[in-house]
Amino acid sequence: MDTLIDLLRYSAREFGDATALASTPGIRQREWSYQKLWEDANRVASFLQDHGLKKGDHAVIWSPNRPEWVVAYFGCILAGVVFVPLDVRSSPDFVSRIIQQTAPKLVFCSRQTSDDLPDSGVPTITLEDLEEALEGRPAQWNGPSIAAEDAAELMFTSGTTGDPKGVILTHRNLVSNILACREMVPVNSSNRLLSLLPLSHMLEQTGGLLVPLTRGATIIYPTSRQPRTLFNTMQRDGVTNFIMVPQALELLMSGIEREVRSKGKEKQWR
C-alpha cells in the first residue's frame, strides 16, 4: 500500500458489500458499503474534473463529521486534489484567512456552516446535496497518476502555541501512519466505531477512519454530540469502539450526571 487510493481500492475489493459508513439522520439509517464508498469517491472525482479542478488544486471542507465528508475526501484523493479540512468550530474569520492562503477551487460545506461561509467567490457545494450532484456520474473514473510523494492534504495545526500553520501531508506520510497504527490498534471487521472527534484532526482521521477502513470495520456517524444522542446511538448501533480525549469524556460524564440529577438518583450514583 503506497497511496490512499491503494487503501480504498483494496478495501472495496476485500470487503465489498460490508458496511463501511453509516448514519441515521432520520428514521432510516443510511449506509455506504465499501464498494459504494469506492464508487461514490470515483463520482466525486468526476464531479471535480467537470468543475475544472485538476491534480494539485486545493479543495476546502468545513463541515461536521458525516459519511459525505469521507466520500468528498476520497474523491479529492482520487482526483489528486489537495484536501484542506477545517475544524467545524473554526470562526468565519479563520476560514476566510485559510481560503485566502490556500486559494481553493471548491469549498465543501454543510448546512450548519454554509451561512457563516465567507463570500469569497469560490464555488461551494453542501454535503447534504452531494448525493444528488453525483447522480448519473460514472462509478469508475480514470484519473491522474498518483504517487506516494504526491500531496494528499493540507492540514492546519491547532494553533495552541501560535498561529495555525499549514502542513502538507503526502500519501507516504499518511500510509506510514496507518501501517504503524495498525500494529497498535486492535480493530477488525466486527468492530463498529463511533466517530466523535473532528475528522479535521489527524487523531480521528487516522485512528477513526483510515485504520478502520483497512480492517473492514463499520464507522458510525452520530447526528449530534449531545450526550443523549450519543448514548442512544451507541445502544442502537452496537458501538464497540471510539477514540476519546479528556474533554469528550467530561462531556459524557456531564450528560450522565444531568440524567442522574433529573431522576433524583444522586445517592445511588455516589
Res. 95: pLDDT tops 70: yes
User: Which DSSP helix (H) or strand (E) runs through 67?
Assistant: helix 67-79
Task: Please say whether the beta carbons of 110 and 128 come within 8 A.
Answer: yes
d(CA 257, CA 61): 35
Mean pLDDT for 100-119 is 94
3-state secondary structure at position 90: coil
Res. 11: pLDDT tops 70: yes
Q: What is the pLDDT of residue 118?
A: 86
Q: What is the pLDDT of residue 130?
A: 97
Strands 106-109 and 124-126: parallel
Res. 258: pLDDT tops 80: yes
Among 34-48, 130-144, 156-170, 216-230, which stretch is predicted with the lowest mean pLDDT?
156-170
- What are the cell numbers at 202? 489527524
DSSP designation for 138: -
Res. 247: pLDDT tops 70: yes
Distances (CA, A) of 69 to 86, 97, 115, 228, 243: 11, 22, 18, 24, 18
d(CA 74, CA 67): 11
Res. 27: pLDDT tops 90: no
Q: What is the pLDDT of residue 195?
A: 97
Mean pLDDT for 14-26 is 96
Q: What is the pLDDT of residue 122?
A: 95
Q: What is the pLDDT of residue 71?
A: 98
- A 10 A CB-CB count for 193 gives 23
Task: Please say whether the beta carbons of 67 and 209 come within 8 A.
Answer: no
Q: What is the pLDDT of residue 159?
A: 66
Res. 55: pLDDT tops 90: yes
- Residues in Cβ contact with 124 at an 8 Å cutoff, skipping those fewer than 6 apart: 106, 107, 108, 109, 114, 117
Q: With helix as H, strand as E and coil as C, how does 206-234 read?
A: HHHHHHHHHHCCEEEECCCCCHHHHHHHH
Mind listing the pLDDT tens digit for each residue in 178-218? 999 998 888 999 999 999 999 999 999 999 999 999 999 99
Res. 125: pLDDT tops 90: yes
Mean pLDDT for 17-28 is 94
Angle between helices 227-237 and 246-262 (to 10 degrees): 100
Q: What is the pLDDT of residue 160?
A: 66
- Mean pLDDT, the chain, as a whole number? 94
Res. 164: pLDDT tops 90: no
Res. 66: pLDDT tops 70: yes
Mean pLDDT for 17-25 is 96
Among 4-8, 36-40, 58-62, 159-163, which stretch is predicted with the lowest mean pLDDT?
159-163
- Side chain identity, residue 131: E
d(CA 221, CA 199): 11
* Residue showing cell 480504498: 8
Mean pLDDT for 72-97 is 95
Mean pLDDT for 158-174 is 86
